[in-house]
Amino acid sequence: MHARFVPWLALLAFSACTAAANSGAYVAPQDAATSQDAATTPDTAAAADTAAVDVAAANILAPGAIGGELPDGAELDGAYTLSDDLVVPGGALVKIHAGTTISSPSFGITVHGGLIVQGSKDKTVVVSGPESGAAWAGIHVDGTLQASYLEVSQAVINIQSDASGTLQLDHGWLHHGRDYNALSRGESTLTRMLIEQPRQGAQMTYNLGIKGGTLTLEDSTLRNSPNECILSEGQSHLNVHYNLLDTGHCGIHFNATASADVQHNEMKGDQFGLMIFGLGAGKINGNNFSESVQLEIYSGTGQNAAIDATGNYFADKKHFELGAAQIDTSGDLGAPATDVGPRPEK
C-alpha cells in the first residue's frame, strides 16, 4: 500500500526546493560573519549558478525508452516511448515539461503520488498510443494529476481517477478513447477542455463519465460521441456550467446521481438533451436546448425527487416525456439565452 499523497504539502516542498535551486546563492553552513561574505563573492555566485543548472539537468530523465517507477523529483522533457508501465509512486512528485511527448504501444501510466503537467498553448504535452489494433492502457490516477495543455488519445480510457484520486485539468484535449475519454470517481475540476470522438470502431464511447465523488466542468466543449456526452451515476455530485454539449446520445444522463447544478449550457444536436433516471436533487436553469433529435428531456422510472428545471430555453416546448416525475419546466425563455456555452477568456 502506498502512502497517502498530500498535494499541498508536496507542492509546497517542491516549490521550496525549486526556489532554492534557482536562487543562485547557495550558502554553506558556517558562522554568520563569514557566510555573508561568501554569499556575495562572484566566484561563489558563479559556482552556485552552475550547481543549480547541474541539479536541474540531473532531474530530467533522458528521452527515449522509459518504464517502471519514477523517483521523487523526476522531470520529463523530450520524446519518450513506454517500454513498460510507468508509475509515480506514493509520496513522489513528478513534473512533465511543455512540449514533451509520450507514446505507448500498450502500457499505461499510474499516478499514486503527484504528477504535474506543465504544457503551454504553443507546446502541448501529448500522450498517445496506436490508432489501430489494441488500445493502450491510458492514465490511471489515485493520487493527484494537475495538468495544463495536455492531450491524451487512443487509450481504453484516456484519463481515469479512483475514489482517492484528484484531477485538475485545464485547456486539455481528450479524444478517441475506446470506452471513455475521461472517467472520474474522485474529486475533479475540468476547465476549458475539448473532449470528443470515439476510437475507430468503438460503438459505446462516453465522452465523460462520473461514478462517485464530485466533478465540476466549466467552459468546455464535449461533442461527437456515439454515447453520452456526460454519464453521471454512482451517487456523484455534478456541477456543469457554461459548456457546449453537442451531438451525443444524451447531453447529460443522470442515473443514481446524488445532486447536480446545471446552468448556462448549450445542449445542441443530441438525441436527448437530458435523460433523468435518478437525480436526488437538481437545479437545471438558464440552459438552451435545441436540435434534439428525439426529446429535449426524457425521464424514466426511478426519478422520484422534485427537480427545478425552470428558466430554460426549449426550441420545442412539447419535446418532453416526463412520466410521473416531478420536473418543473415552467418559466421557459421565449428566446435563446445569450449567456450560455464556453465564455471568452479574459
Same-domain pairing of 173 and 291: yes
Residue 301: the pLDDT is 81
pLDDT-derived band at 243, boundaries 50, 70, 90: very high
Same-domain pairing of 19 and 77: no
Query: Could you read off the pLDDT of 51-78 as tens digits, one per residue?
Result: 555 556 679 999 999 999 999 999 999 9
Q: Answer whether residue 334 is part of any domain.
A: no
Quote the domain boundaries for residue 72. 66-328
Angle at 64 between CA 13 and CA 124, to 5 degrees: 60
Same-domain pairing of 250 and 190: yes
Query: Could you read off the pLDDT of 184-209 as tens digits, one per residue?
Result: 999 999 999 999 999 999 999 999 99
Task: Look up the CATH number of the domain holding residue 112.
Answer: 2.160.20
Q: Answer whether residue 156 is part of any domain.
A: yes
pLDDT-derived band at 26, boundaries 50, 70, 90: very low
Same-domain pairing of 70 and 50: no
Task: Take residue 87 and report the three cell numbers written for it.
Answer: 508509475
Q: Answer whether residue 2 is part of any domain.
A: no
Q: Answer whether residue 335 is part of any domain.
A: no
Q: Answer whether residue 204 is part of any domain.
A: yes
CA dihedral 236, 241, 242, 245 (to 10 degrees): 20
Query: What is the SS3 assignment for 51-92?
Result: HHHHHHHHHEECCEEEEEECCCCCEECCEEEEEEEEEECCCC
The dihedrals phi and psi of 16, each to the nearest 5 degrees, come to -65, -40
Q: Answer whether residue 211 is part of any domain.
A: yes
Same-domain pairing of 31 and 105: no
pLDDT-derived band at 6, boundaries 50, 70, 90: very low
**pLDDT top residue among 42 and 108:** 108
Lowest mean pLDDT among 48-57, 177-186, 244-253, 292-301: 48-57
Same-domain pairing of 150 and 202: yes
Q: Answer whether residue 5 is part of any domain.
A: no
Same-domain pairing of 47 and 133: no
Same-domain pairing of 23 and 168: no
pLDDT-derived band at 45, boundaries 50, 70, 90: low
CA 307 to chain centre: 28
Same-domain pairing of 126 and 180: yes
**Global pTM?**
0.85
**Cβ(308)–Cβ(280) under 8 Å?**
no
Same-domain pairing of 50 and 157: no
Domain count within the chain: 2
Residue 317: the pLDDT is 66
Same-domain pairing of 39 and 84: no
Q: Answer whether residue 338 is part of any domain.
A: no
Q: Is the pLDDT of residue 256 over 90?
A: yes
Residue 316: the pLDDT is 82
Query: Which residue has 491510458 as its cell numbers?
Result: 138
